[in-house]
């Protein structure tokens, strides 16, 4: 993949050092594909654990553990491949992001199934996430920059926020805002949906503007058709081009 990875989240630098250190110590039999599979399986497990939060107090710690396992597999598979000089850029890019899309659907589906988030709000959150994902994938190919974070917030920070939120809603799923009682997850999802929509609009404008500057409209004379000998018809008639 001919693009630049841009990762400027708060924890990005420390996380990169940690991942490289872990990758260098992993046993030889463990491959990046094993880690990818681990990250994939962890997301449905996280969704199931979240759905069980109203049933058992152990579900919140299990949800946090599933997110840790997902971080381990999803963040480390590419690092391990690069450390071992076994990188497969196109395969890794495609598989990682297909898994991310499926995993996010499973995770938010579990939140909606828990009864702690209104299904329509969960659907809006998924739609906003997919909008941002699609714009990011398009920008990777059109602009050549793959951005993994926005305003200092990336996947690892999101996992931490979700884990903390799970413990909060396990203890009290409601919040009082302006005298009105609402599900805490609904409030958080509405804020997240609005934020993702803003990210989509800002990124789309920024990337479209960058591409417009890189590809300005050609001058009319440059755009005029030429015949088989390379002459423009207007020039053959003696007209000024």
Domain ranges of the chain: 4-143+151-217
Mean pLDDT of the chain: 89
* CATH for 4-143+151-217 (1.10.150.120, 3.40.50.2300, 3.40.190.10, 1.20.120.1760): 1.20.120.1760
Mean pLDDT of 69-90: 93
Whether the predicted pLDDT of 192 surpasses 50? yes
DSSP 182-212: EEHHHHHHHHHHHHHHHHHHHHHHHHHHHHH
pLDDT single digits (tens) 145-191:
888 888 788 899 999 999 999 999 999 999 888 888 999 999 999 99
**Please, which pLDDT band fits residue 7 given cuts at 50, 70 and 90?**
confident
Mean pLDDT of 24-47: 96
The β-bridge partners of 147 are 6
- Alpha helix ranges (H) inside the chain: 12-23, 32-51, 59-83, 89-113, 119-142, 155-171, 184-214, 220-223, 233-236
pLDDT of residue 241: 44
Supply angle C-alpha 147, 148, 149, rounded to 5.
Answer: 95
pLDDT single digits (tens) 222-239:
666 666 666 566 554 554
Whether the predicted pLDDT of 240 surpasses 70? no
- Global pTM value: 0.85
DSSP 153-175: B-HHHHHHHHHHHHHHHHH--EE
Mean pLDDT of 28-45: 95
What 8-state DSSP symbol labels residue 218? Answer: P
């Amino acid at each position: 993949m001919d693009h630049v990875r841009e990762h400027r989240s708060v924890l990005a630098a420390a996380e990169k050092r940690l991942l490289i250190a872990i990758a260098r110590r992993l046993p030889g039999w463990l491959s990046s594909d094993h880690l990818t599979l681990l990250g994939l399986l962890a997301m449905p497990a996280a969704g199931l654990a979240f759905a069980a939060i109203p049933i058992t107090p152990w579900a919140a710690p299990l949800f946090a553990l599933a997110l840790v396992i997902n971080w381990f597999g999803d963040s480390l598979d590419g690092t391990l491949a690069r450390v071992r000089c076994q990188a497969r850029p196109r395969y890794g890019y495609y598989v990682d992001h297909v898994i991310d899309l499926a995993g996010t659907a499973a995770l938010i589906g579990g939140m909606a199934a828990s009864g702690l988030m209104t299904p329509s709000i969960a659907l809006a959150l998924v739609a906003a996430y997919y909008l941002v994902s699609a714009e990011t994938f398009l920008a990777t190919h059109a602009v050549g920059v793959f951005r993994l974070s926005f305003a200092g917030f990336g996947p690892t920070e999101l996992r931490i926020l979700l884990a903390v939120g799970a413990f909060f809603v396990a203890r009290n799923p409601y919040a009082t805002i302006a005298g009105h009682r609402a599900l805490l997850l609904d409030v958080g999802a509405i804020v997240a949906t609005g934020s993702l929509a803003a990210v989509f609009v800002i990124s789309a404008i920024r990337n479209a503007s960058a591409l417009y500057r890189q590809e300005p409209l050609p001058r009319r004379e440059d755009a005029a058709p030429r015949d088989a000998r390379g002459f423009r018809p207007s020039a053959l008639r003696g007209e000024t081009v």
